[in-house]
A and B are shown apart, each in its own frame.
Chain A
Amino acid sequence: MRYSKTVAIHIPLIIVFLFALIPLTWLVLASVNPAASPAAKIPSRMTMENFGRTFSGRPLHWTLNSLLIAGSTATLVLFLSTMAAYPFSRVRFFGANILLYGLVFLRTVPVSSFMLPIYLIFIKLNLVNTYLSVILTLSVLNIPFALLLLKGFYDTIPTVFEEASWIDGCSRWKSIFRIVLPQCGPGLAVAWFMTFMFAWGEFLIPLILLRKIELMPLSVGIFTTYGEYGVVNYGLLSSMSLLYAIPPILMYILIQKNLVKGMVGYVKG
């Protein structure tokens, strides 16, 4: 590559790199600063005290709750939409597109307008104050997007192998497990990851459906710390935010390779 072209490509990339990282740098600096404020400063003295408080007691407990909620939601959504996306991709049936996009549009109705009925439903089912209520709600909210992604991903997988297996006497269900799903790794990974991220970050739904502070996920916990004593404690908040950001980052590192491949589902959707 010519030198000038290399420069032309790298300069904008470096600018974007800095733009993306500078706000996050403050977060890291503030977490070890005993006198943290919104100002960007190199701390005059480093402290691990904020992390000490973060990795003890309530925050750690909240993290486990978040993992349980987000992990279960992602798994449940993946399980349901893996099945449901298949007919959308392989079978022509009446109203398929209307159903698929209808579901996506249903999700454009702002959640705050139907929060009360969701709450009422769970009271009727006697499930208020359980993880299950939060997991079910978050799952329902995420199925449409996962469905869209996986349907698109199935579309990219050639049908010839399946058809060949039917001739060999393989049942349709069996062919899905033996032939289709093994080729879907990246799509499944991305669908799981996107749902996990959404559920991990969700604040309003657990806040309303749960009432015990021990059951709350970290998103609510961080908010709690925000207003603790009515005073913003930037250092503690930053260290908690870092703790809160670690699991999605780890997940990202794990599926990094698959992310670009898996997005094909949307590309072909």
Chain B
Amino acid sequence: MSKKILVFSMAMLLVGALTVTGFAQKVISVQYGEPWKPIFESAIEEFEKTTGAKVDRMLIPYGVVFVEKMTLDLAAGAAGDVIMVDGSMIADTVEAGYIRELDGYVKDWADWDQYYPAFQAMGSYKGHAYGIVLETAANAILWYWKPNFEKAGIPMPWKPKDWDEVLETAERIKERVPGVEYPLYIPMGSKWGEGATCCGIYSQILGADTSAGDRNRLWNYTTEKWIGSSPAIERALNFYREIFFVRKLSPTDAMYAPDVWGEWRRLMREGKIGIGQGGSWEWAEFWPEAERPPEEERGELLAWAGLPGSGHPGTPPIQTISGGWTVAMNARVKDPDLAWEFLRILNSKERMAKWLGAAGKLSMRKDSAEVPEYAENEFLVEIGKLLPYSDYRDALAGYATVSRYVQQAMEKVAVDGLTAAEATEWYNNKLIEEFGKDKVETIK
């Protein structure tokens, strides 16, 4: 009898020890922002079920400036094993030694080939993969509020062919619809931060000149220099000067509100904006979830047009830009195989496509079209047609700094009223101060 008890308790101890060690060894931490909660939660659930490992959730709540919190965590060495890095910051993050190369993993991952090359590149640096793109969008399209267009007598669907037409339409709204406070709203300035660059002026710079010889970029890929001064930069800045300073089509207070995103969405859904430049994701996000009208009703109020090029010779009829968040692995990860397993589960075909469809975000994978929840979303089909006109940020090491100076140059013309040439010169000098004379060039 006592022997039986002994054996039994030994067995229990053994089982206990196994479970304890099992749990103690297998834990990974995953750090993500609250807007991505649905897809991360579903992946965590599946990951815990299939691997038996535990996930330590490090949720960065809404309203917190995600990039700043994440960067500080990385700098202090306290970030999670799996983290999110904005596509534009991959290079700077790699250079800082914060994230781990994934070449060995993606090589054996069948899904990797399903990613369009441009999106593979967005998560890569110097030919090595570091981040897997989680979502994308057309970051700059022109939203317009239909009732305001009706009141102003502007025919719809509205398809502007160049910047002048955009400005003229906005002036017409300003004259005829007194309730509109912001006839033409475009993100601007340092409080908008990267939003002012990627949803704002970047598409204008790209659409201001022909793409030959990288004339419409911030970085020249042939000479490997930052472009400090070019007709494209000057034209784009002049467009902002016209909107904010010369024609007064947008007061600046909303650009510095405590929550610029919240304020912009509120102004739009209350009909206080005529035309607003923003991301394709706004189709859903202009409204809080509880108040969001069904798609047909939304279609009565809201429509969009592609953002035209400047109208100079050789510029495209439509221009937009795509960015996206990536998921990456912390360089300090203790169990990279387990972290990869999580990334694999997170980025599976079905989960990805269903989430993108529900969130109204564009896919970066070819196989999303095979999943009905994504393929049958009419809005995404329409927006998807913009992708051939889409371009990408020159997100090399130093981009974060460059982008900041672009935002400040916007303020120079929009708030201080400097001419576009003066602001471009200021920008050029800032880049020279930052990178040295031999890393900055001028395009005539």
Contacts and interface: CB of A to CB of B under 8 A. Distances in A.
Query: Is chain B in direct contact with chain A in the complex (CB below 8 A)?
Result: yes
A224 B266 contact: no
Interface string A131-174: 00000000000000000000000000000000000000000000
B64 A120 contact: no
Interface residues of B, number: 28
A229 B75 contact: no
A interface: dominant SS: helix
Contact of B61 (A115, A116, A120, A216): A216
Contacts of A221: 61
Contacts of A227: 62-64, 259, 261-262
A232 B289 contact: no
Interface of A: 37, 115-116, 119-120, 123, 128, 207-208, 211-213, 216, 220-221, 223-233
A230 B261 contact: yes
B358 interface: no
A13 B354 CA distance: 62
Contact of A223 (B57, B64, B75): B64
Contact of A116 (B31, B69, B75): B75
Given A119-B78, A123-B78, A128-B78, A228 B72 contact: no
B117 interface: no
Interface of B: 31, 34-35, 57-59, 61-64, 69, 72-73, 75-78, 258-259, 261-263, 265-266, 285, 287-289
Contacts of B69: 207-208
A213 B287 CA distance: 25
A229 B285 contact: yes
Contact of A232 (B61, B64, B259, B287): B259
Nearest to A119: B76
A230 B286 CA distance: 8
Given A208-B69, A225-B63, A226-B258, A232 B76 contact: no
Contacts of B62: 224-230
B266 A232 contact: yes
A226 B259 contact: yes
Nearest to A58: B61
25 contacts: A116-B72, A120-B77, A123-B76, A211-B58, A211-B73, A212-B57, A212-B59, A216-B61, A220-B64, A221-B61, A223-B61, A223-B63, A224-B61, A227-B64, A227-B259, A228-B62, A229-B62, A229-B285, A229-B288, A229-B289, A230-B262, A230-B265, A231-B288, A232-B259, A233-B288
